């Protein structure tokens, strides 16, 4: 402690998705630090670089699925559809990298295999898959919360003679036109893929474990005049987003579902079904769909009635109809249930008729049928939130691995910092907000940038949250999550999708506005909950 420190660079950023790109810009272009970003992918974009499967798109409306930090960027960059297709988001992020001249400090195809905090020098030592090692004063992990692929353990998967691919690693050369395609998984990704693939595949077999509640997205072209009107309204739009709960660019409802008549409830559900968007249906209809079982049941019953109306074959409709709570991340899609009316689409309920094995020819189910396939798509999701952290050899004080800290599930202070890991920050770390993510990423990057700027200005040497602060934040997140219905549904939000993963609260569910307020209060109180040690030389000046 107290020794002069010479680091290779001031800061290292890991990951070059929405989070890493903005963090690099903040630290290098705004704070003037020397920074290197490492990205294991062959390009920037994170989610939008890897998820090139047919149908991949945002389910946040495009006008708020972007950065808001730069007025010029907001005014210059156009869009042409209500939701952004994967190539559009990727092109946007590539534009941001070019616009702010970031590429020269991003090393692609370079995985960070480990990072260890050296308590003698108070520096981080970051190791790369290339065998190199670099030191830095600040380490920012922007590893992605939906970025560690979940490959299911299905017997015979390796024996498949066709192509087996996960949606998060979709190869550029794979064309499914006319092919016999099977897909395992009907989450947000699976549903998007199913709608798109049904239009081009020769035959599509959907292996569904859990039926899903899905509402229309209302996707449509957006003309230049609408884009210009939206641009003119951006100041008000972002003001609204920053004070809102889910940050999706609509006003959340203030009305309780059971406070109105059944007719009025149905009218509101229909109105929002027609407008489109999953989060709007859950949070824009009534304010208690995610908290009150009766309100939740009413929303679920409405969606079930739509499935019965849309799906022509009663047996397919039965299999597609969920009976559990409507309490996973709300899905939306254009024509999901309608897709099952197509002659080339077949639904297999693997709850009723489990997959026994993948064979060289396809997938064999318990009824003895071998579903012959050319392509098998795993839309089986992610080891979310902490998955990529645990994959690294990430060690804080005392050489303790992050896993040793997270035996009961991943924790943090404010979603951005961790006891025992001084000068390390996380973008979308555990117990960060559950929202449209770019606004929350911006809130975190701005806040971390503010703290680092303050540290640089005042000669702070180490920044570390206290155990009390982290325990308090964990308890707050648990209390809020437990006041909702989300923990009662099995999904990635609590880690329930990964066999053997401990179920834990991994999000702050009080909303974006409340989160920003909390960050502001912590900063205004002199970074309450953090212990800041000062560099003796700097302090003496």
> Which of ligand FAD, ligand NA7, none binds 380 (CB below 5-8 Å, type-dependent)?
ligand NA7
Q: Which of 7, 17, 257, 296 binds ligand FAD (CB under 6 A)?
A: 17
Handedness of CA 139, 142, 145, 146 (dihedral sign): negative
Binding segment for ligand FAD (CB under 6 A), chosen from 50-58, 269-277, 340-348, 495-503, is 50-58
> Which of ligand FAD, ligand NA7, none binds 428 (CB below 5-8 Å, type-dependent)?
ligand FAD
Residues 540 and 397: their CA atoms lie apart, in Å, by 26
> Which of ligand NA7, ligand FAD, none binds 60 (CB below 5-8 Å, type-dependent)?
ligand FAD
Phi, psi (5° rounding) for residue 286?
-140, 165
Nearest CA among 279, 278, 241 for reference residue 439: 241
- Only one residue has tokens 């974006």, namely 512
Which residues on adjacent β-strands are paired with residue 382? 149
> Cβ of 178: how many Cβ atoms within 10 Å?
11
Asked whether position 325 contacts ligand NA7 by CB under 6 A, the answer is no
First to last CA, the chain: 18
Nearest CA among 181, 154, 136, 146 for reference residue 9: 136
Four-CA torsion 341, 83, 22, 240, nearest 10 degrees: -120
Closer residue to ligand FAD, CB minimum distance, 18 or 406:
18
Binding segment for ligand FAD (CB under 6 A), chosen from 14-22, 116-124, 314-322, 351-359, is 14-22
CB of 70 to ligand NA7, least distance (A): 25
Q: Which of 26, 40, 179, 265 binds ligand FAD (CB under 6 A)?
A: 40
Which residues on adjacent β-strands are paired with residue 346? 205
Asked whether position 509 contacts ligand FAD by CB under 6 A, the answer is no
Contacts of 3 (CB under 8 A, 6+ apart): 120, 121
Residue 29 CA: distances (Å) to CA of 5, 142, 427? 23, 18, 18
Residues 59 and 440: their CA atoms lie apart, in Å, by 16
Asked whether position 162 contacts ligand NA7 by CB under 6 A, the answer is no
Q: Which of 46, 62, 144, 185 binds ligand NA7 (CB under 6 A)?
A: 185
# residues contacting ligand FAD (CB under 6 A): 34
> Which of ligand FAD, ligand NA7, none binds 112 (CB below 5-8 Å, type-dependent)?
ligand FAD
# residues contacting ligand NA7 (CB under 6 A): 19
Residue nearest to ligand NA7 (CB): 187
Nearest CA among 307, 303, 211 for reference residue 266: 303
Q: Which of 242, 275, 329, 518 binds ligand NA7 (CB under 6 A)?
A: 329
CB of 351 to ligand FAD, least distance (A): 24
Q: Which of 102, 123, 143, 320 binds ligand FAD (CB under 6 A)?
A: 143
Asked if residue 14 lies in contact with residue 107, where contact means CB atoms within 8 angstroms, the answer is no
Q: Given the rule CB under 6 A, which residues bind ligand FAD?
A: 14-20, 38-41, 46-47, 51, 56, 58-60, 65, 111-112, 142-144, 146-147, 189, 388, 392, 427-428, 436-437, 441
């Amino acid at each position: 402690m107290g020794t002069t420190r010479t680091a290779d660079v001031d800061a290292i950023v890991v990951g070059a998705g929405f989070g890493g790109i903005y963090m690099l810009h903040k630290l290098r272009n705004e704070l003037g630090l020397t920074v290197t970003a490492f990205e294991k992918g062959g390009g920037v974009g994170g989610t939008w670089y890897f998820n090139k499967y047919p149908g991949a798109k945002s389910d946040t409306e495009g006008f708020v699925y972007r950065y808001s930090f730069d007025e010029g960027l907001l005014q210059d960059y156009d869009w042409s559809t209500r939701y952004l297709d994967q190539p559009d988001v990727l092109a946007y992020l590539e534009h941001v990298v070019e616009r702010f001249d970031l590429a020269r400090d991003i090393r692609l195809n370079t995985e960070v295999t480990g990072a260890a905090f050296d308590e003698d020098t108070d520096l981080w030592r970051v190791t790369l898959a290339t065998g190199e090692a670099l030191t830095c004063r600040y380490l920012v992990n922007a590893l992605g919360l939906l970025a560690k692929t979940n490959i299911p353990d299905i017997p015979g998967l390796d024996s498949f003679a066709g192509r087996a691919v996960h949606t998060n690693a979709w190869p550029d050369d794979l064309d499914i036109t006319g092919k016999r395609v099977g897909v395992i998984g009907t989450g947000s990704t699976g549903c998007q893929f199913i709608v798109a693939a049904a239009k081009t595949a020769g035959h599509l077999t959907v292996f569904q474990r859990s039926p899903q509640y899905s509402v229309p997205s209302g996707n449509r072209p957006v003309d230049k005049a609408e884009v210009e009107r939206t641009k003119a309204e951006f100041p008000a739009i972002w003001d609204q987003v920053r004070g809102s709960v889910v940050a999706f660019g609509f006003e959340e409802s203030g009305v309780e579902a059971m406070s109105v008549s059944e007719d009025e409830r149905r009218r509101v559900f229909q109105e929002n079904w027609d407008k489109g968007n999953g989060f709007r249906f859950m949070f824009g209809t009534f304010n208690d769909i995610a908290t009150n079982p009766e309100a939740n049941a009413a929303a679920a019953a409405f969606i079930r009635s739509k499935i019965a109306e849309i799906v022509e074959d009663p047996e397919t409709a039965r299999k597609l109809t969920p009976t559990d709570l409507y309490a996973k991340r709300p899905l939306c899609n254009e024509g999901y249930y309608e897709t099952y009316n197509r002659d080339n689409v077949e639904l297999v309920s693997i709850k009723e008729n489990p997959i026994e094995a993948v064979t060289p020819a396809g997938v064999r189910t318990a009824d003895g049928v071998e579903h012959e396939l050319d392509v098998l798509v795993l839309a089986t999701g992610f080891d979310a939130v902490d998955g990529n952290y645990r994959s690294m050899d990430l060690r804080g004080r005392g050489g303790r691995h992050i896993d040793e800290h997270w035996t009961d599930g991943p924790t943090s202070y404010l979603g951005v910092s961790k006891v025992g890991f001084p000068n390390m920050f996380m973008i979308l770390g555990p117990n960060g907000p559950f929202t449209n993510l770019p606004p929350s990423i911006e809130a975190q990057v701005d806040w971390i940038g503010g703290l680092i700027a303050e540290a640089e200005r005042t000669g702070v040497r180490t920044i570390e949250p206290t155990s009390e602060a982290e325990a308090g934040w964990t308890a707050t997140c648990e209390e809020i999550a437990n006041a909702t219905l989300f923990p009662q549904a099995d999904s990635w939000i609590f880690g329930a999708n990964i066999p053997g993963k401990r179920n834990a609260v991994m999000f702050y569910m009080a909303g974006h506005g409340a989160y920003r307020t909390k960050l502001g209060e912590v900063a205004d109180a002199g970074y309450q909950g953090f212990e800041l040690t000062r560099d003796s030389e700097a302090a003496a000046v």
